[in-house]
Amino acid sequence: MKHCIFALTLVFSCLLLSGCGDPTLDATNQASIEESVNAMMEEMDEQEQQKFQQALASIALEATTANIQKAMSGATIDAEQMQNDFYASLDGKTAQEVIDYAAQQND
């Protein structure tokens, strides 16, 4: 019985702690990504907002450039799939992870 109580306590503790931390992007769709970007930016000062917005723009530009290169090589490009790939690259990332991801792409 003690093991069961301990296990349940451990599980509930993990669940509570998993809710802590920096907010992440919900890139399920256009509305959810806009909502989560706005919510994240509310917690930032002006300088952090600029860095975050620049990182998002850089990632979008890189994704667009990659898709243009694919199209120029003869591949068929599906706009919906392009958007889904972009969202997937951002989904679940914190603001700092987005900034770091953009920096990696620019290296």
Answer yes or no: is 86 within a domain. yes
Answer yes or no: is 98 within a domain. yes
Answer yes or no: is 52 within a domain. yes
Are the CB atoms for 89 and 29 separated by under 8 Å?
A: no
Answer yes or no: is 32 within a domain. yes
Whether 13 has a pLDDT exceeding 70, the answer reads: no
Could you give the number of structural domains in the chain?
1
Q: Where are the alpha helices (DSSP H) in the chain?
A: 2-18, 30-42, 46-72, 79-90, 95-106
- Nearest alpha-carbon partner for 93 in 14, 27, 18: 27
User: Tell me: the pLDDT tens digits for 24-56?
Assistant: 999 999 999 999 999 999 999 999 999 999 999
Lowest mean pLDDT among 4-8, 75-79, 83-87, 101-105: 4-8
Answer yes or no: is 87 within a domain. yes
Number of Cβ within a 10 Å radius of residue 37: 19
Identify which has the larger pLDDT, 83 or 5.
83
Answer yes or no: is 13 within a domain. no
Structural domain boundaries, residue 81: 23-106
Answer yes or no: is 28 within a domain. yes
Confidence tier at 20 by pLDDT (50, 70, 90): low
Q: Please give the mean pLDDT across all residues of the chain.
A: 83
Whether 6 has a pLDDT exceeding 70, the answer reads: no
Cβ-in-10-Å burial (0-12, 13-18, 19+) of 95 comes to: buried
Q: Is 74 left (phi over 0), alpha (psi -120 to 50) or beta?
A: left
